[in-house]
Amino acid sequence: MIVENRPGANAVLGVSEVARAPADGYTILATNSSSMTANHQIYKKIPYLPERDFAPVTMVVSAPFIMTVNAANERTASVNTLADLVALAKAKPGQLSYSSGGPGNLAHLGMEMFNNRAGIKTNHVPYKGGVAAQTGLLGKEVDTQMDTPTAAPHVRAGKLKALAVTTAKRWPDLPEVPTLAESGYPGFDVSFWLGILVPAQTPPAIVQTLYNAIRTLRDDPNAMRTLQQQGTVELTSPQDFAARIRSETTAWGEVIRRENIQLD
């Protein structure tokens, strides 16, 4: 298997390449949820549409975002809980900033959803990818972030403070960190996923063959250890994965319209 990384425009570039590929099962897309649930609702000009151009194979892992602040940042020195962050944002309206891996990705949308629920205003600072966004937080360029589980080692090392996770249940790698629902925002449940898709006209028999092969990862302890470092292993059926994409597309569409997020 040859891996081609095609970053750019919140995954639009790489996803578009696969949309144009032959539907023979030999070109496979590994992508995150924003490319299938949000991009086509945000970008005015986009060369693909998820339901038209792709056939879901399986969702591999899902994971929460982790609300974090830099433990060494003087601007957020008083912040130890989510309530502290909200209080600081209300005391300094429009002065706090947050990073994300790019405009329109789920960390951006999730933070705007939180701003709306908490009644606060924080400024979005988009970076070219999640690693750069995390580096911006560690470098004190921004004040907070909805980060991925890659933040966990920094939390355990004391470099970042984890205030809450965005899923309905606590994250096993950081069991002491409360959920947003536990922190006063009932019903807040946001996660992101990594999934496998193929071009839309791929024969169903090939889709099923790929799914059957991928789900055997459950029988490989080494593969499972690697996947579990990224999130909760799902390996859902093509039908269940398609239903998840439709449901999340509707939910994120409401956020996008409410916050009036549109990109050229």
**DSSP one-letter string for the chain:** --------TTTHHHHHHHHTS-SSSSS-EEEEHHHHHTHHHHBSS-S--HHHHEEEEEEEEEEE-EEEEETT-GGGTT--SHHHHHHHHHHSTTT-EEEESSTTSHHHHHHHHHHHHHT---EEEE-SSHHHHHHHHHTTSSSEEEE-GGGHHHHHTTSEEEEEESSSS--TTSTTSPBTTTTT-TT---EEEEEEEEETTS-HHHHHHHHHHHHGGGG-HHHHHHHHTTSEE----HHHHHHHHHHHHHHHHHHHHHHT--B-
User: pLDDT digit string (tens) for 140-194?
Assistant: 999 999 999 999 999 999 999 999 999 999 998 899 999 999 999 999 999 999 9
Asked if the domains 12-61+192-259 and 66-165 are classified in one and the same CATH topology, the answer is yes
* Overall fold of domain 12-61+192-259: D-Maltodextrin-Binding Protein; domain 2 (3.40.190)
Which pLDDT band, with edges at 50, 70 and 90, does 228 fall under?
confident
pTM summary value: 0.84
Locate the domains of the chain by residue range: 12-61+192-259, 66-165
CATH code of domain 66-165: 3.40.190.10
pLDDT digits 0-9 by tens, 114-129: 999 999 999 999 998 8
pLDDT score for 161: 98
